Chains A and B, each alone.
Chain A
Amino acid sequence: MKLVKIDKSQWSQGLTKSRESYRLYGPVETDGFHGFKALAADEQPDMTYVNTRLSPKAILFPQSEAIVTYSLDTNDTDHHVQKSMPIDENPRAIVGIRPCDAKSVTLLNLNFDTSAYKDPYWVKALAATTFIGLACDDPRSTCFCTSAGCGPYHEEGLDILLVEQQEAYLAKILTQKGEAFAKAAGWDAETEADDLFDTNKQAAEAKIVSTVSTDNLKNQDILSLHAAPFWEDVSFACLNCGTCTYTCPTCWCFDLQDEVQGQSGKRFKNWDSCMFPLFTLHTTGHNPRGTKMQRVRQRFMHKLKYFVDKYDHGIMCVGCGRCVNQCPVNIDIRTICEIMNTYSPEEQTAVAD
Chain B
Amino acid sequence: MSELINATGLACPEPVVLTKKALDSCDDVTVLVDNTTALENVKRLASSSGCAVDVTEELEGIFRIRLKKQQSNKPECAPSQTVQGPTVFVIASDSMGNGNDELGALLMKTFLHTAIDLEHRPDVLILYNTGARLAATDSGEVDDLKALEEKGVRILVCGTCVNFFELGGKLAAGTISNMYDIADILSKAGRIVRP
Do A and B interact with each other, yes or no? no
Residues of B within 8 A of A (CB): none
A interface vs B, CB < 8 Å?
A: none
